[in-house]
Chain A
Amino acid sequence: MSRTSGGRTAPSVRGPARWAVVLGIVAGALILFFHWMVFFYVPTEASMGIVQRIFYVHVPAAWAGEMAFGIAAFCGGMYLWLGDERLDVAAETAAEGGMVFFTAALIAGPLWAKVAWGTYWTWEPRLTFSLLLWMIFLGYFLVRASIANKEQARRLSAIVAIVGALDIPLIHVSVNWLRSLHPEPVVLRQDGPQLDGRMLATLMVGLLAFTVVFFALFALRYGVGLLERTRPTDAPPEPDGSGLMMEES
Chain B
Amino acid sequence: MSSWWRPFAAMVWKDVTVELRTGQRVAAMGGFAVLAGILFNYALAPTGARPQDLASTLIWITIVFAGTLGIGRTFELEEENGAFAGVLLAPVARDALYLAKVVSNLLLVLVTLVLLVFAFTLFFGLDLGRSPLMFWSSLTLGAIGFVGTGTLFAAVTVRSSMGATLLPVLLFPVLVPVIVFGATSTSRLLAGLGADQVAGPLRLLAAYALVALGSGAVLFRFAVDDG
Contact = CB atoms under 8 A, between A and B. Distances in A.
Contacts of B219: 80, 159, 162-163
B197 interface: no
Contacts of A155: 222-223
B181 interface: yes
A47 interface: no
B208 interface: yes
Contacts of A171: 173-174, 176-177
B184 A147 contact: no
A160 B172 CA distance: 12
Contacts of B181: 174, 177
Interface stretch (B20-28, B41-49, B68-76, B155-163): B155-163
Contacts of B149: 163, 167
A164 B166 CA distance: 15
Interface string B169-184: 1101110110011001
Contacts of A80: 219, 222
Nearest to A168: B174
Contacts of B211: 166-167, 170
Contact of A163 (B152, B157, B184, B227): B152
A143 B223 CA distance: 12
B54 interface: no
Given A146-B166, A159-B223, A174-B180, A164 B174 contact: yes
Contacts of B169: 135, 138-139, 142
Interface residues of A, number: 32
A139 B140 CA distance: 27
Max chain B C-beta neighbours (<10 A), residue from A132, A146, A163:
A163
B177 A173 contact: yes
A148 B227 CA distance: 15
12 contacts: A136-B174, A142-B160, A143-B166, A146-B161, A152-B159, A156-B159, A159-B223, A162-B215, A163-B152, A167-B149, A171-B176, A173-B177
Interface of B: 149, 152-153, 156-157, 159-162, 166, 169-170, 172-174, 176-177, 180-181, 184, 204, 207-208, 211, 215, 219, 222-223, 226-227
Interface of A: 80, 128, 132-133, 135-136, 138-139, 142-143, 146-149, 151-152, 155-156, 158-160, 162-164, 166-167, 170-171, 173-175, 177
